[in-house]
A and B are shown apart, each in its own frame.
Chain A
Amino acid sequence: MALLRTVLQVAALGVLFTGCQWLVARTGIPVPAGLLALLVLIGLLLSRLVPEKAVDQGGDLLLRYLPVIFLPPGIGVIRELHLVQGHALGLAGVLLGSLVVGQLVAGLVGQAVVNREKP
């Protein structure tokens, strides 16, 4: 019973995503269908039109095995290694520099706002 419920919930999330794919193709809006599906589901859950228990088991299953789904595009990077040639050090510097600055800014801003919120 639990297995059937999980399968049905994964199918329901698939239907939601397919509906968003159709909408994106039909209207031509440049929004990834997955991002649109995420926004729609947040809206449905917050408005209580869809209860959490209607998608929790299937959603949790997909999120648990998400890393496995990431593997094919990750392996596909070997087709694109030539794009990094000659820029590997520069890219590493940009990634590290922007990461450090972003983390510091987010942390310091967050702390400043939290301190102001305190009574």
Chain B
Amino acid sequence: MRALEIVGATAFTVALYWVCSAVQKRLRLSLLHPLLLSVLAGGTLFALLPESWLDAYDRGAGPMLWLLGPATAALALPFYRKRAFLTEHPWAAVLAAVCGCASTVAVVWGLGELLGLPPLLMRAASLKNVTLPVALGLAQVTHTEPGLTTVCVFTSGLVGSAIGPALLSRVGVRSPVARGLALGTLSHAIGTARALEEGPLPGAAGVVALTLSALLIGTGAIVLSMIFG
């Protein structure tokens, strides 16, 4: 039974992503990321089915989810390959990532408090600019719902890469380094893919920025969870 659940969940996940990628390619809508489309389609399907089907899918997807750990470690590769960028622009990379992360988290908690959002939602929103495999690990440590965290991370990636370039141009940020840093810090891998479209230099800046922001938000979240439990 367990083996059947694993095979079924894996086959369903791969097939769903494959179909949604094909649909996205045909529609050519950049905002409709295949992953977002797959989540919407899969979520709608399981909402219509008895809950026991989702339970079985969760059990079957366990081994695939475990791969998230080795995949997170593999993020060291793009960072290592672009390490020359960090030696050329160390202060720009570190300061942009620190200020970008600090300001975005400050707005989450300030505005969230003002709008009366529950702390659970603010914790998920604080992890939005961390690349998903790291964000899901941090969600466990900070007792945040993984699904909510996933939605926040997607929103930051998709919306940030869609509006970011125009927004940065509007305020006069024309430096390729700065544009890549802004996109990588706030919109992680999806933003970095967008930065790569502007050239190799913004792409390299994006890779370094996404790693730095994962480490910064990760350290902050871990320290705060140690203090406040």
A residues neighboring B (CB under 8 Å): 10, 13-14, 16-18, 20-21, 30-35, 37-42, 45-46, 52, 55-56, 58-60, 62-63, 66-80, 83-84, 87, 90-91, 93-111, 113-115, 117
Contact = CB atoms under 8 A, between A and B. Distances in A.
A110 B57 contact: no
Interface string B163-199: 1100110011111011101110111010000000000
A87 B152 CA distance: 14
Interface in B76-111: 76-81, 83, 89, 91-93, 95-97, 99-101, 103-105, 107-108, 111
A42 B100 CA distance: 23
B214 A35 contact: yes
Contacts, number: 319
Given A70-B132, A108-B173, 4 more contacts: A62-B67, A98-B125, A101-B103, A101-B104
Q: Is the interface of A mostly helix, strand, loop or mixed?
A: helix
B36 to A, nearest CB: 8
A104 to B, nearest CB: 6
A83 B120 contact: yes
B65 A93 contact: no
The 6 A-B pairs at the shortest CB distance, nearest first, are namely A32-B137, A106-B100, A102-B104, A77-B147, A34-B72, A110-B178
A60 B46 CA distance: 31
A103 B95 contact: no
